[in-house]
Structure 1
């Protein structure tokens, strides 16, 4: 028995340099424009039997704009950044440079008072591992790019530091196939199909 989980990174709500930890802002105009341009290639995802999204406004709006009518999954929320919530990386670095350095270097560190990178990856992986294992079921989930990165690290059983080397662009998609505890990464050259 296996499932196919396609993770779609939510459209953006700000420029990359203005991204904030635990950002709850809705899609900006550029994000809406991106969804409109990408919609045709991502529309086949609406055929998935199960459709989910993270609880952020931009993930919900992206899923709705793609015609998914997704169900919110709290396990797909972004990493809990504690007292750094709402800050950019640069702002957190200006306030607590040693704490940021420690957090970036140590996957067990929760220097911000929130969730460690390892706990975040394990939470997202736990969600993956509990997806229904009906043979061939197709699942799509729209989530923050950080969640997609965490899912890939978990699925590949990669060292947590790999997280920092993954670049997930808005509206990019990755497909994981398998079942709880055993996942394969599928890279499509064509637009995503379910």
Structure 2
């Protein structure tokens, strides 16, 4: 029996240029507004048999605001960015440009002392592959980075493609399949 997993990117907790690694800030005003606007289109996902979210405040708040009442899944946490946690990419680039270049170029590199990109993608893939088969669907609200990692894993794309996947707040993607055999399902706006 195949599994249907819909991933919803959490609403924003800060302006794009103010985003920080391992950000644990709650939804900002624009994020709350966006959730209220998107809720009618996303609420039906809450009918899923299993509903999860990553442990961040904004993922939990997004899931609750959409009426999902999700269970927190520690495996859906964002990538561990080590000493870069709480910093913006601009901050880190100004202080450690060679380290940032190494991190962007090599998915096994962890110059920040945290989790390498390849390990992050593998962890998220492991979560996907251990979802129970169910007649219904599964929905998970997670950080955009988690959604990107899930897509790279499911499509068996090279880890470097992670940087080419743009996941905006409240974006939704559905994966169907079995462990290690996933397909990307694109939905039409017509139902």
| TM-score, normalisation: structure 1 | 0.97
What's the counterpart of residue 81 of structure 1? 81
The answer to whether the aligner puts 1:156 opposite 2:155 as a matched pair is yes
What's the counterpart of residue 55 of structure 2? 55
Take 2:161 and 2:141, find their aligned partners in 1: how far apart are those partners? 21
Q: Secondary structure at the match of 2:36?
A: helix
Query: What is the deviation of 1:189?
Result: 2.1
Query: What is the deviation of 1:137?
Result: 3.0
Query: What is the deviation of 1:78?
Result: 0.3
Take 1:116 and 1:80, find their aligned partners in 2: how far apart are those partners? 8
Query: What is the deviation of 1:7?
Result: 0.1
Take 2:96 and 2:90, find their aligned partners in 1: how far apart are those partners? 10
Q: Secondary structure at the match of 1:123?
A: helix
| TM-score, normalisation: structure 2 | 0.98
Matches within 5 A, 1:60-139: 60-134=60-134, 136-139=135-138
What's the counterpart of residue 189 of structure 2? 190
Take 1:137 and 1:116, find their aligned partners in 2: how far apart are those partners? 34
Q: Secondary structure at the match of 2:94?
A: helix
Take 1:120 and 1:12, find their aligned partners in 2: how far apart are those partners? 21
Q: Is the 8 A contact 1:103 1:110 kept in 2?
A: yes
Unmatched segments (≥5 aa) in structure 2: none
Q: Secondary structure at the match of 1:104?
A: helix
Take 1:190 and 1:53, find their aligned partners in 2: how far apart are those partners? 24
What's the counterpart of residue 11 of structure 1? 11
Q: Is the 8 A contact 1:48 1:139 kept in 2?
A: yes
CA deviations over 1:116-162 (Å, ceiling 9, x no partner): 0000000000000000023x330000000000000000000000000
Query: What is the deviation of 1:18?
Result: 0.5
Q: Secondary structure at the match of 2:138?
A: strand
Q: Is the 8 A contact 1:56 1:77 kept in 2?
A: yes
Take 2:22 and 2:93, find their aligned partners in 1: how far apart are those partners? 16
Take 2:74 and 2:103, find their aligned partners in 1: how far apart are those partners? 23
